[in-house]
Chains A and B, each alone.
Chain A
């Protein structure tokens, strides 16, 4: 359905962008795909939020009124992940500083927290907060916990955390308020690459418990 048929809006976002309201994250990824299929010459820069898509354009190249009309008439593509191609398995050593606290908040044992996190299948909804930081949805509802009341000044690269309904991996050393369950040695960010973020919107992620793998610890 088009946005109008779904009762969703296209908002002006400055004189160089539109913000498309979507029903949810999958809808946003479908929209992103539809905009990319339409924008064959690459005139637009589009990126998703949790349930929105921002479409940036150059007013010297693209007529804002025409683009707004096109956006109103586009239909999101069914977002289908190629199951073979882009599932990324992330080995995690579950040794995070907040593991015991998460267990106590959720009323689970540490083993149950690890099992609940490593058995899930996640999808990157969008990248925000810091370069390469993908918000992964699909967290077991039993693991939904608030952020730390006071963020850490320094979270090491590779730290795996949870907050609200999200899980994520800190790509680089940064401050951070998510509760840490463990760490991975997988390189999540490489700024020498033209696509530096390993996890792109739509990437499917599985966490693999590597706690007993001493080589990784």
Chain B
């Protein structure tokens, strides 16, 4: 029997996401999908789903909902005050929720994006083999709204609930990151492809800088404030393919890191690319927090 999730409130932004659209770049379609894929996978595994099942990416808490039938859920990623009918429950653990109980992801205390999984996965229609909302292209389901009724699929291993429940309580590394006085996040990068568009001095400046995450950041791109990097090469760059993690240097000299919903081509030089797994860390960096870049040796 199909279950249904009824949205009561959404917080600032709650989106249905899976692991994204792979292989449609040539059609002009970006990857999209959960920004912090490590936390997404962890949540889906906790409830016994395939990694690629669709869940909800919750920005800064605030999502509350009820289910029409009993189901196992898990919430990972950013720390939130998680409760069922007002009773506090643990994150990073599979929890049985009864029909009609109100689940709330309350105040967000650390990180930025929480990941909610429900056994069976969210069963909305797929677009290009994915259920992800892409905020740039508009592909996939719309952002969640209060009153939405979201179909939930049939769990794969209903009878194995006990094993699922004990599956693990690992806090994802993306949230358990090292927070020091002045640097909240170090992202590993590979330098290039267009590092030769910058002087050695400009590249060194970029590698030594601490950048602050700008509030105008989103899933399309994370904007950074700090040392401006100006290119030495003033030709026009013909549009070239881009991927999430690309660090573009626009004319204002302030780096822009492409997120999962970034465009598939760009006309500004990419000075370096964030290691794919470290996008999980970037997903959890709040506006005002500090980022440094560390080249892979």
- Interface of A with B (CB < 8 Å)? 11-17, 19, 45-54, 56, 126-135, 172, 174, 191, 195-197, 200-201
Majority secondary structure, A binding face: strand
Q: Are A196 and B240 in contact (CB under 8 A)?
A: no
In the docked arrangement, what's the CA distance between A56 and B274, Å? 15
Which residues of chain B are within 8 angstroms of A11 by Cβ–Cβ distance?
Answer: 192-194
Kindly provide the distance from the CB of B246 to the nearest chain A CB, expressed in whole angstroms.
8
Kindly provide the distance from the CB of B152 to the nearest chain A CB, expressed in whole angstroms.
24
Top-10 shortest CB links A-B: A128-B265, A11-B193, A50-B238, A14-B273, A54-B241, A49-B240, A127-B28, A47-B26, A52-B240, A197-B27
State the total of A-B contacts with C-beta under 8 angstroms: 110
* Range class of the B interface residue count: 35 or more
Which residues of chain A are within 8 angstroms of B246 by Cβ–Cβ distance?
Answer: 13-14
- Of B22, B127, B240, B263, chain A has the most CB atoms within 10 Å of the CB of B240
Q: Are B190 and A47 in contact (CB under 8 A)?
A: no
Q: Are A128 and B138 in contact (CB under 8 A)?
A: no
Q: Are B241 and A48 in contact (CB under 8 A)?
A: yes
Which residues of chain A are within 8 angstroms of B194 by Cβ–Cβ distance?
Answer: 11
In the docked arrangement, what's the CA distance between A172 and B246, Å? 26
Majority secondary structure, B binding face: loop
Kindly provide the distance from the CB of A36 to the nearest chain B CB, expressed in whole angstroms.
11
Decide yes or no whether B239 CB sits under 8 A from chain A.
yes
Residue in A48, A131, A200 whose beta carbon sits within 8 Å of that of B29 in the complex: A131
Q: Are B240 and A19 in contact (CB under 8 A)?
A: yes
- A131-B137 contact, Cβ under 8 Å, with A14-B273, A14-B274, A14-B275: yes
Which residues of chain B are within 8 angstroms of A17 by Cβ–Cβ distance?
Answer: 243, 273
Decide yes or no whether B139 CB sits under 8 A from chain A.
yes
Decide yes or no whether B276 CB sits under 8 A from chain A.
yes
Residue in B28, B190, B296 whose beta carbon sits within 8 Å of that of A197 in the complex: B28
Which residues of chain A are within 8 angstroms of B24 by Cβ–Cβ distance?
Answer: 131, 196
Residue in B128, B138, B243, B296 whose beta carbon sits within 8 Å of that of A56 in the complex: B243
Kindly provide the distance from the CB of A34 to the nearest chain B CB, expressed in whole angstroms.
16
Q: Are A19 and B241 in contact (CB under 8 A)?
A: yes
